[in-house]
Amino acid sequence: MRAAAEKLLVHGKEYLCVVKYSASFAGEQLHSLTTSMSKVMQSLRRFSMELNKPKARWDEKKIRSKIQRWLSTQFLTDVIRYDIQQREGHWHLQFDFNNDAWQRLLAHRLGRTVLLTNRMDWTAEQVAAGYSGQQSIERVFRGLKDGEWLGWGPMHHWTDRKIRVHAFYCMLGISLLQYVHKQAQAAWDGISMEQLLEELQQIQQFVLLYPPQGEKGPNRVSIALSKQTLAQQSLAQILGLDQLCSTQT
């Protein structure tokens, strides 16, 4: 992550303006934009053929309204150009990809966030770190609400005392997850909480039971671990999961 700061006047007041660049955020935006762009180009191609049909009945207002809905996603109006013309009683749609605008997006827009603060004594890095910290807190509460990590509900409590206890062990679970997530950074720098949980869920231990070798005696037991990727092996080693498993025959 990189950041740069400059003091600017905004609505008559001086603020510290920070531009923050994140490669991971740029990657997310690029993936979302290319996916949306592919879908819109296909829709425009089909719509163009529909307008060429002899029985097509469209007016300019409806055509532009339909296309604008497709281009409502951020940045699409910058990179997709279109033109409609009426010839011989039929509407003709032409569209293309604006490569110059695409290059400008990559160079100046994607992955960048503009932040304003009245903390004039802060550095650009401090402002960016504070913003990232706020995002982490918001992500925690979304996790509690949506149940992706540790769901707040269903609670099944009604008294104030039990509700406070419920809140305490939810936050305790979140704290433990945050600690594990911080430890996991040593094995996989930049791994998200969702990625961490997904990788750890795939590390499984199986207990296999076999019949005794003779008529008498206990069943034979074999404990085995699931096959792990290199990333999962690194996470297991950093988090000490091998100490919690036993492989015996």
- Rounded to 5 degrees, what are φ and ψ at 204? -125, 155
Q: What pLDDT, on a 0 to 100 scale, did the predictor assign at position 142?
A: 73
Neighbours of 196 (CB within 10 A): 20
Terminal alpha carbon distance of the chain: 49
- What is the Cα–Cα distance from 16 to 121, expressed in whole angstroms? 9
Q: What confidence tier does 249 reach under pLDDT thresholds 50, 70, 90?
A: very low
Q: What pLDDT, on a 0 to 100 scale, did the predictor assign at position 149?
A: 64
Q: Which residue has the tokens 């008529």?
A: 215
pLDDT of 41 strictly over 60 = yes
- 3-state SS class at 20: strand
The HSE-up count of residue 27 (CA atoms within 13 Å, CB side) is 4
Higher per-residue pLDDT: 183 or 138: 183
Mean pLDDT over 23-41 rounds to 90
Higher per-residue pLDDT: 202 or 153: 202
- What is the Cα–Cα distance from 249 to 208, expressed in whole angstroms? 9
pLDDT of 217 strictly over 90 = no
**What are 98-151's pLDDT values in tens digits?**
999 999 999 999 999 999 999 999 999 999 888 877 777 777 777 777 666 677
pLDDT of 33 strictly over 90 = yes
Nearest to 136 by CA among 199, 176, 178: 178
Q: What pLDDT, on a 0 to 100 scale, did the predictor assign at position 148?
A: 62
Higher per-residue pLDDT: 120 or 214: 120
Mean pLDDT over 243-248 rounds to 64
Mean pLDDT over 10-23 rounds to 92
pLDDT of 246 strictly over 80 = no
- Kindly report the pTM of this predicted structure: 0.56
- As a whole number of Å, the CA-based R_g of the chain is 28
Q: What confidence tier does 209 reach under pLDDT thresholds 50, 70, 90?
A: confident
- 3-state SS class at 73: coil
Average pLDDT, the chain: 87
- 3-state SS class at 157: coil
Higher per-residue pLDDT: 64 or 193: 64
pLDDT of 221 strictly over 90 = no
Q: What confidence tier does 42 reach under pLDDT thresholds 50, 70, 90?
A: very high
Q: What pLDDT, on a 0 to 100 scale, did the predictor assign at position 15?
A: 94
Domain segments of the chain: what residues? Answer: 25-108, 132-199, 201-243
155, 166 in Cβ contact below 8 A? yes
pLDDT of 200 strictly over 80 = yes
